[in-house]
Structure 1
Amino acid sequence: MITQFVITPGEKPKRLDVFLRHREPDISRTCIQRLIELGRIRLNTAVVKPSHTVKPGDRITIDTPQPETLSLAGKTVPLDVLYEDECHLVLNKPAGIVVHPTSGHWSGTLLNAILSHFQLQPTPHHDSIDTPKPRFVHRLDKNTSGVMVVAKTREAHRALAWQFEQHTITRVYEALIWDIPADSQGVINLPIGRDRKNRKLVSAQTNEPKPATTEYRMVQRFGKKASHVQLVPKTGRTHQIRAHMGSIGCPILGDTTYGGQKVNSIEKRMIPRVMLHARTLGFRHPKTGKFQEYSTTLPSDMQSTVQALKN
């Protein structure tokens, strides 16, 4: 899908990637830079570097990934829509799906599927400003399942993003973890940021610590090696739950990034993926202000793992 626009008068000169990051808040800066490098974003029909300075009058062309049906391991997966209106879409994301195109994942993403979903909806003015456009307010990791909300308009995106920034969103996760926490319930209050040695990780060993708080409560224990917990993040840092659980010696099963190879199996049973599910999401409707909350049950792979651990 190709989008073109001209930078309006009054816009201050700035880097191309920085300008697009503010104009397209649903696309990460890393993704924007990659699209520029691939020539899918052009300035005045020319391929330029992400650092190229743009100014009023410049014409920018963006060739975004084509809409596709959602697929997982070669199998078509329909969108599991929990609620939808003209402002936003609430869905149950399956594990194994990347939310937004990134290096190595340019197709088969949740964004591709949502674009395809929107194209199937009748709109009175296809090219008007009212045409639905997915704008991500938050993300779930590839191997995390659960409830997500996606804005369809700029106004809805601003209203929902403000709620996330103010931490007024209700969020409840469930996880199967390695070992048994020392206390049946507690609060992990540990500032985290990009790890000094490995920028792909977040940890307390960082030069840029940001406050992060996660509440946890034991749901069930399985012998002495694993347990089922409910988690409520009070802040929304990247990999917060995963890093926090790893910090208390109870990494999430299947999460080798924060738990090492030992969490890949338990009692000779292989763990299929990171056993983390975003069960509940509550927020105020971006237009009416009415509070709405959506919940889903544990997906089948986590349910089967629970049964295996019980046995």
Structure 2
Amino acid sequence: MGVKEGRVDLVVEPMEHPVRLDVYVAGHTDLISRSTLSETETVIQLNGKASKKSKLVREGDHITVLYSENFFAGIEGEAIPLTILYEDEDLLVINKEQGMVVHPANGNTEHTLVNALVHRYGERFCEELMDETEVEEEADLSSPAVRPGIVHRLDKDTSGVLVVARNRISHRQLSAQFKNHTTKKVYIALARGTFKTKQGTIEKHLKRDPKDRKKFTTCDDTEGRYAKTEYQVLRQYSGFALLRIVLHTGRTHQIRVHLSKAGHPIIGDPIYGKEDGQTLMLHAFLLELDSPSTGTRIRFRAKMPERFRSYLRSTRLPANSGVRSLSSPAATGHD
């Protein structure tokens, strides 16, 4: 593992009103990810002086960002089994197992999806994407040299549909779709409590929790990043519900934070809920996007996982009641 050092220089263009320094940088360069911008080692200067990210910038201001990113060169391939939903020359779509980490990180350079991809496609898989720089903004990913093939991600304990780009052109096109919110992302979850309405929409800005940098929290519209989550109650059980969730934006921990703040934490969420002896009940059920080569709209589904069924059986209530469309064989794979 190596370190990539970089520098970004910007001159603030004409604006209708002042904006936060970090918001301006994120919106005017693809060279640095939001996660890197938030690192304590990253130096941000405004007009030659060290500045806070929350500082408002105005037309003509000079911004300099000095940063470093971990560079996972020489990743070793591992024969990790993958549940493949679809594969062609442009992309690979898998049903990610719960517990699998998507990409390497400090202290965790083995047993990740990237290790499995290197084993499947060879070391050239990383090399062929080295020069690409366009990525999914909302996933806080850096260049494919650091995250080869990854255009979006799922948390370690979230299972379900995940797409991987297999070449530069595919990476560029898929990344643009996620960045422009033209994909459709549908999740299912088991959430605590009794819902007063059958459906609803949560629109709350998100930011890192100032008390715990590993967590996120809701905030005023003047801070953080806009996030929109739409949910539908498929079945209300005693003390919890099965939800269908449409993710209109893709902020880190978005569904988990939104539902928790609404008083309905996801079952098994140790960060935004309570330790309950369960594993996280969140699953990426459906992903819809345009084929990078043909432009045809394609849809992928991953059926309800066994941990959901097991939990529903443990309640002594019928697991399939009202949710047959989610669990039937016809609802899996590639449409």
User: Is the 8 Å Cα contact of residues 17 and 29 (structure 1) preserved in structure 2?
Assistant: no
Q: Following superposition of structure 1 onto structure 2, how do residues 11-50 of structure 1 map, counting pairs within 5 Å?
A: 16-18=4-6, 29=36
Q: Is the 8 A contact 1:92 1:145 kept in 2?
A: yes
Unmatched tracts of structure 1, length 5 or more: 4-14, 35-50, 54-60, 71-77, 265-269
- d(CA) in 1 for partners of 2:67 and 2:263? 46
**Deviation per CA, 1:104-157, whole angstroms, max 9, x where unpaired?**
32100111011111139xxxx9998599x8411100000000000111112111
Pick from 302, 306, 310 the counterpart of residue 312 of structure 2.
306
Q: Does 1:219 align with 2:225?
A: no
CA distance in 2 between counterparts of 1:255 and 1:62 reads 29
Q: Distance in 2 between matches of 1:150 and 1:239?
A: 20
1:228 partnered with 2:242: yes
Corresponding residue number in structure 1 for 2:16: none
Q: Is 1:209 the counterpart of 2:224 in the alignment? A: yes
Q: Quick one: which of 136, 150, 154 aligns to 2:150? A: 136
1:64 is matched with: 74
- The DSSP-based 3-state class of the residue aligned with 1:136 is coil
When the two structures are aligned, how many residues end up with a matched partner? 253
Deviation per CA, 1:5-27: give whole Å up to 9, x if none. xxxxxxxxxx93337x96899xx
Letter in 2 for 1:308: S
Q: TM-score, normalised by structure 2?
A: 0.67
Q: Could you list the structure 1 runs, at least 4 aligned residues long, displaced by more than 4 angstroms after superposition.
A: 21-25, 125-131
Report the aligned-residue RMSD: 3.3
* Distance in 2 (alpha carbons) for counterparts of 1:166 and 1:250: 29
Residue matched to 2:320: none
Does residue 160 of the first structure (1) align with residue 174 of the second (2)? yes
Query: Residue 248 of structure 1 aligns with which residue?
Result: 262
**Contact kept? 1:173, 1:278, Cα under 8 Å:** yes
Partner of 2:118: 115
CA contact (8 A) 1:192 1:210 kept: yes
Superposition map of 1:279-298 within 5 A: 279-298=285-304
Percent identity between matched residues is 35
Contact 2:188–2:285 (Cα < 8 Å) also in 1 = yes
* Structure 1 residues 171 and 127: alpha-carbon distance in aligned structure 2, compared to 1, 3 A threshold: closer
Q: Unmatched 5+ residue regions in structure 2?
A: 8-28, 42-65, 131-143, 318-335
